[in-house]
Amino acid sequence: MSTQMLIYLFVGASFALYIGIALWTRAGSTSEFYVAGGGVHPVVNGMATAADWMSAASFLSMAGLIAFMGYDGSVYLMGWTGGYVVLALLLAPYLRKFGQFTVPDFIGTRYYSKVARTVAVVCLIFVSFTYIAGQMRGVGIVFSRFLEVPVDLGVIIGMGIVFVYAVLGGMKGVTYTQVAQYCVLIFAYLVPAIFISLLVTGNPVPQLGLGSQVADGSGMYVLQKLDASLVDMGFAAYTASTRSTIDVFCITAALMVGTAGLPHVIVRFFTVPKVSDARRSAGWALVFIALLYTTAPAVSAFARLNFNETIDQTQYADAPGWFGNWENNDLIAWRDKDGDGAMDIAPGDAFEGAPAYTGERGKHGERVLSNAPADGANEVYVDRDIMVLANPEIANLPGWVIALVAAGGLAAALSTAAGLLLVISSAVSHDLLKRTFRPTITEKGELLAARLAATAAIVVAGLLGIYPPGWVAQVVAFAFGLAASSLFPAIFLGIFTKRMNREGAIAGMVSGLGFTFFYIAWFKLWNPAANVPENWLLGISPEGIGVIGMLINFAVALLVSRVTAAPPAQIGDLVERIRTPRGAAAPVEH
């Protein structure tokens, strides 16, 4: 069977599985739609949480980032993993004990304010739509390459699949679908990693293979050879850092506290039966996440090593077949700047922006591209998000492995997209409609509103996937920064500070989110030419500025709360009850 037929078979079978699970577990009440009825087993919830959290950024883009950034890319690895420790220790059990459906529910009740609830919904929508843009972009890339359809059409197909199991199944359907998606994505990530580790080092364990000698008789270790290869091409060594210490610290911290403030992750801890199960869920999620995250550095190094060896100085006419496959989707490209017919990889951009094919061929048979070439010697453009997907082809692995990776990439992107869409829909139907504007709405009406809100969110998400504001992991990193600067301080202070009042929480969320959003927008949307370290505040990049936004949030919230009236006595009792270290306390009634 051909590789293309295997791809259709694997992807089709996985989609049929997801839709079947969603129909089987279709939500029949608002409780099932929002929190799966609150009866999910901790191990099952841990696996679903891992799938919800390990998005297209984790599966597709993180290894690509590390492959091209080297040591500097490790901030994503440390930040996203460490964030789960913060979540498990500081937030998850307390929020589960509170017993509501959503993050704005907690903030609205804790801060006894419809305004605070509405501000939290706005923050949540900002974060969720920023995050979901990356997921839909990942869906489009996978469909574009492996199902041979345009990226835009791939996004639309992904929208249709998510619509079925998110809108019909709700959190109940999404939970069990995500368990299946986790199994698909982790198998799809580990199998090629094991194959490639064997080919490169002879060691079947990727984590150990990264520290082993290359099986080419040179006697060099993997990182030694990769360092030498990159230095020869004019790059910094793979193991060298080019970022300032403060920027590395801020990006890592923003990703950590951003993880703890992500609404679609937090809501997963409302789906377990009791408080102790929330902490166990976080522990199981760490185990399941670690399987991928400890493998990612090896995947990154092997991918960059194989990429350099198969492409640099190779004549275009002799380029491997996988290069043409990705070239046809404009996700990799070459322009002969020096006229020698060889593909030269060097520091700098090969083109001014992403390349676009004009439909014509040059003297070496290369695709003629409309973009003017950028200055410098680099002739090869590669979309970083393709490295994990292209890795099996680069290593010349069997067709079924390539098909498995395609299914895994889609599972990673779709699982997170579904979780985000449910968070958005519940924020609109439950927090804005039921809790704020129409408190008399029936449960049937609220469930219909939730499904309509999810449908509208899918349409917006699709548009963001077709017109994304950046490549996948970069977009997702911004979502973490926005979460760190808006929701995390309000949740943290709401749990651990009785004196925090509604005025402080609202002022903190608005100031933190506003500062972070405008800083990111200035350097990434409005004035990208100025996005250089010399212009950054304290040398902190847009990816790490969420930490400063978080500190502003904390400072403003604490200051305002001290000069305004204290919260009512019952709020202090509520905080005390949330913090009582017992797992059997009854949840707050709806």
Please determine, for residue 28, whether its predicted confidence score (pLDDT) is greater than 50: yes
Give the pLDDT mean for 321-345: 85
pLDDT tens column, 138-155: 777 777 777 777 777 888
Q: Look at residues 192, 204, 223, 207 and name the one whose alpha carbon lies nearest to residue 77.
A: 207
pLDDT tens column, 30-63: 555 555 555 677 888 888 888 877 776 677 778 8
pLDDT tens column, 462-498: 887 777 655 444 556 677 788 888 888 998 999 888 8
Separation between Cα atoms, residue 253 and residue 258, nearest integer Å? 8
- Quote the pLDDT of residue 166: 65
Mean pLDDT of the chain: 81
CA distances, 430 to each of 22, 54, 525, 586 (Å) = 22, 26, 33, 21
DSSP characters over 84-149: HHHIIIIIHHHHHHH--SSHHHHHHHHTT-HHHHHHHHHHHHHHHHHHHHHHHHHHHHHHHHHS--
Q: Using 50, 70 and 90 to split pLDDT, how confident is the model at 170? A: low
Q: Using 50, 70 and 90 to split pLDDT, how confident is the model at 556? A: very high
Q: Which residues contact 318 (CB under 8 A, 6 or more apart)?
A: none
DSSP state of 261: T
With beta carbons less than 8 A apart as the criterion, state whether 561 and 527 touch.
no
Please determine, for residue 589, whether its predicted confidence score (pLDDT) is greater than 50: no
- Quote the pLDDT of residue 32: 53
pLDDT tens column, 67-125: 888 888 888 888 877 877 777 777 777 877 776 667 788 888 889 888 888 888 887 77
Please determine, for residue 186, whether its predicted confidence score (pLDDT) is greater than 80: yes
Please determine, for residue 587, whether its predicted confidence score (pLDDT) is greater than 60: no
- Quote the pLDDT of residue 356: 77
Complete domains list, the chain, with CATH: 3-303+398-579 (1.20.1730.10), 332-382 (no CATH)
Q: Using 50, 70 and 90 to split pLDDT, how confident is the model at 561? A: very high
Give the pLDDT mean for 152-175: 73
End-to-end CA distance of the chain: 56
Q: Using 50, 70 and 90 to split pLDDT, how confident is the model at 225? A: very high
Number of neighbouring beta carbons within 10 Å of residue 30: 23
DSSP characters over 206-241: HHHHTTSBPTTTT--BHHHHHHHHHHHTTPPPTT--
With a threshold of 0.75, does the pTM exceed it?
Answer: yes
DSSP state of 336: -
Give the pLDDT mean for 554-563: 95
Separation between Cα atoms, residue 146 and residue 422, nearest integer Å? 28
Kindly provide the b/e burial profile for residues 203-226, where b requires at least 16 CB atoms within 10 angstroms of the residue's own CB. beebeebbebbbeeeeeeebbbbb
- Quote the pLDDT of residue 584: 43
Kindly provide the b/e burial profile for residues 489-518, where b requires at least 16 CB atoms within 10 angstroms of the residue's own CB. bbbbbbbeebebbbbbbbbbbbbbbebbbe
Separation between Cα atoms, residue 346 and residue 311, nearest integer Å? 12
- Quote the pLDDT of residue 212: 92
Separation between Cα atoms, residue 65 and residue 475, nearest integer Å? 13
Q: Which of 98-102, 229-233, 381-385 has the highest mean pLDDT?
A: 229-233
- Quote the pLDDT of residue 585: 44
- Quote the pLDDT of residue 588: 46
Number of neighbouring beta carbons within 10 Å of residue 60: 32
Q: Which residues contact 521 (CB under 8 A, 6 or more apart)?
A: none
